[in-house]
Amino acid sequence: MNLYPSIFRRKSTRRYESQPLPQQTIADIESAIKGFAPLYPSVVPGYRFVGKTKGKFGQGSFVAEAPHFLIISGQGKRGEKPGELESAGFVYQQLALWLDANDIGSVWLGSAKDAETNNSDNNNDIITLAFGKGAENIHRAQKDFDRKPISEITNAPDDICIQAAHLAPSGVNTQPWYFEKKADGVLVYRQKLKPPLSLMYKLSDVDMGIALCHYALACKETGKPFAFTRNADLKAKPGFIPFGVIA
């Protein structure tokens, strides 16, 4: 399935019908997950489905009402193993787009916790994707995306792959990425968040993986190669942390 068109129409869905999706759809989701590209071949985040979560949702403190939640987990405590956070974003944004392409709504939830299974492995949980049939429109027009001007996230606003990354979702809509195009590749930076946001939001690396997912899908669409490597030794950029290089 081509996920690229969904980049330009998906949105976070926050109201769902309570009816669960058919069992066949859940089976289709599981087989779709098996086919998603990894960011790094050696880092494969795990997942499980749960029907109930607890925790803060949006600005309020109510629990998201969705029929399904997919909890993404790593092998180290809360994604402490290198590469797990951005891998979770990269792989499972493909699922968010796959769901959109199948007219199923979804929303990333940074603070939802599993309310069904209670075991020590929950410490490795990274992030949740709520999904189900929307009780609101789950698509939108490109003009309705609320994003920073593209000139704030790159020196190459005409680049199709960066335009796709520009539309990526991020926690609290922080859009922490910067893509600096050079003759021989693209340097990727992550914005340093300022307090109080930096104290409450720790998932910027997941956001980076999501933006890289959009970038990679645009490369695939336009027949360009995509390879990303983490690299902390890029030229310093005030207000940003070096993240990696796209070759």
Residues engaged in binding ligand FMN (CB under 6 A): 11-12, 57-58, 107-111, 127, 169-173, 203, 206-207, 210
CB 126 within 8 A of CB 206: yes
CB of 6 to ligand FMN, least distance (A): 12
If the CB atoms of residues 108 and 228 are measured against ligand FMN, the closer one turns out to be 108
Residue 243, Cβ density class (10 Å: 0-12 exposed, 13-18 middle, ≥19 buried): buried
Contacts of residue 233, defined as CB under 8 A and 6 or more positions apart, other chains included, come to: 242
**The tokens of 149 are what?**
């001007």
CB of 247 to ligand FMN, least distance (A): 25
CA gap 89, 91 in Å, rounded: 6
If the CB atoms of residues 198 and 224 are measured against ligand FMN, the closer one turns out to be 198
If the CB atoms of residues 24 and 179 are measured against ligand FMN, the closer one turns out to be 179
CB of 136 to ligand FMN, least distance (A): 11
Q: Which residue is nearest to ligand FMN (CB)?
A: 169
**The tokens of 72 are what?**
């993404």
CA gap 85, 83 in Å, rounded: 6
If the CB atoms of residues 30 and 136 are measured against ligand FMN, the closer one turns out to be 136
CB of 89 to ligand FMN, least distance (A): 7
